[in-house]
Amino acid sequence: MDLKGKVAIVTGAGSGIGYAIAERFAAAGAGICVNYLGYEEEAKALVQRLPRAIAVKADVSKTADVQAMVDATVGQLGAVDVLVNNAGVERSMPFLEIDEATWDLMLDVDLKGAFLCAQACGRVMRDTGKGGSIVNISSVHEDVAFPGFTPYCAAKGGLRMLMRNAALELAEFGIRVNNVAPGAIATPINTKTLNDPEKVAILNRIIPLSRMGKPEEVAEVALFLASDASSYVTGSTYYVDGGMVRYSQPL
Ligand code: BGC
């Protein structure tokens, strides 16, 4: 699996899974647009360590920011062959307490952001005639309900159908679209859980492989879907969750 001569945009690459994907794709030979909104220092430090990379600040939920990011990538790195929609936010709130701003935050970043980036990059991939690969980092919660996380689940469930529709409509341009659905991965999004041994113990019980995952383990599957090794794969979700989505309690 390699990405020699290719250029990838990785959103939310200043931390967690996005950071690991940017590192892994660079090691596989790709030029990288490291997108960030928070984690500015981390994003800039990462770019210093990679052979061919730029750091671009952009709020993926804003059309103008997204277009500026795509233009900067084409202008400075010469192309966009791969998009990884990784940027995401997660807040927990009981269903009856959810306010409009909280709902909007998750739908805007986790779902609309992925759409805006896929559309802007899809247009470039179509216009160059070279096609490309779009990989959305969704979650087991594109499928599994998660009490207390309704807007997050609604956004991730939406990302599942966004991927399926985009896969059908973009196939004619040689653009493949797939999701990677991580389970419980040790990253900053899980800080509260990681600091609570009881929660970690519950997670370990419902994960068949009995442990949380590492960002690097998600990056390997993202690399497969980004690279030509998956040339006949489109419209699919790959779970990277230690079997969590298949968890079932014996009687
Ligand atoms: C969430 C984590 C959660 C995991 C498994 C992820 O999408 O970001 O907070 O632990 O799913 O439930």
Q: Give me the domains of the chain, ranges plus CATH numbers.
A: 7-185+214-241 (3.40.50.720)
Distance in angstroms (rounded) separating the CA atoms of residues 42 and 135: 23
Burial grade of 195 (CB within 10 A; 0-12, 13-18, 19 or more) = exposed
Sign of CA dihedral 43, 197, 141, 178: positive
* Phi and psi torsions of 147, nearest 5°: -55, 135
Which atom of ligand 1 is the closest one to the Cα of 90?
8
Residue nearest to ligand 1 atom 1, measured at CA: 184
155, 161, 163, 168: CA torsion to nearest 10: -160
* Total count of residues recorded for the chain: 251
Shortest-distance atom of ligand 1 to CA 146: 12
What count of Cα atoms within 13 Å lies in the side-chain half-sphere of residue 245? 15
pLDDT band at 9 (very low <50, low <70, confident <90, very high): very high
Q: Is 239 a catalytic residue?
A: no
| pLDDT confidence of residue 249 | 87
Between the CA of 184 and the centroid of ligand 1 the distance, in Å, is 5
pLDDT in tens, 124-166: 999 999 999 999 999 999 999 999 999 999 999 999 999 999 9
CA angle, residues 25, 160, 164, in degrees to nearest 5: 90
Q: How far apart are CA 43 and CA 15, in angstroms?
A: 8
Separation of alpha carbons 161 and 164, rounded Å: 5
C-alpha neighbours within 13 Å on the C-beta side of residue 118: 28
Give the residue whose CA is nearest to atom 2 of ligand 1.
184
Looking at the predicted structure, is the pLDDT value of residue 18 above 90? yes
CA dist 132 and 192 (Å) reads 37
Q: How far is residue 159 from each of residues 27, 57, 139, 145, measured CA to CA in Å?
A: 28, 23, 9, 14
Using an 8 Å Cβ cutoff, are 69 and 29 in contact?
no
163: Cα separation from own chain's centroid: 12
Mean pLDDT along residues 28-41 = 98
The strand ranges marked E within 37-92 are 53-57, 82-85
Q: Look-up: residue for tokens 């779902």?
A: 111
Q: Ligand 1: distance of its center to the CA of 43 in Å?
A: 23
Which of 89, 91, 140, 187 maximizes ligand 1 atoms within 8 Å of its Cβ, making it the mutation to test the pocket? 140
Using most ligand atoms within 8 A of CB, pick from 91, 137, 189, 205 the residue to mutate for ligand 1.
189
Q: Has residue 73 got a pLDDT over 90?
A: yes
155-213 pLDDT, tens digit per residue, is 999 999 999 999 999 999 999 999 999 999 999 999 999 999 999 999 999 999 999 99
C-alpha 55/C-alpha 137 separation (Å) is: 20
What residues pair up with 213 in beta bridges, in sequence order? Answer: 185
Say which of 19, 152, 238, 239 is annotated catalytic.
152
- The residue among 142, 128, 126, 136 whose CA lies nearest residue 175 is 126
Tokens of 19: 């950071």
> Which has the closest alpha carbon to 26: 42, 4, 11?
4
What is the CB < 6 Å shell around ligand 1? 90, 139-141, 146, 183-184, 189-190, 193
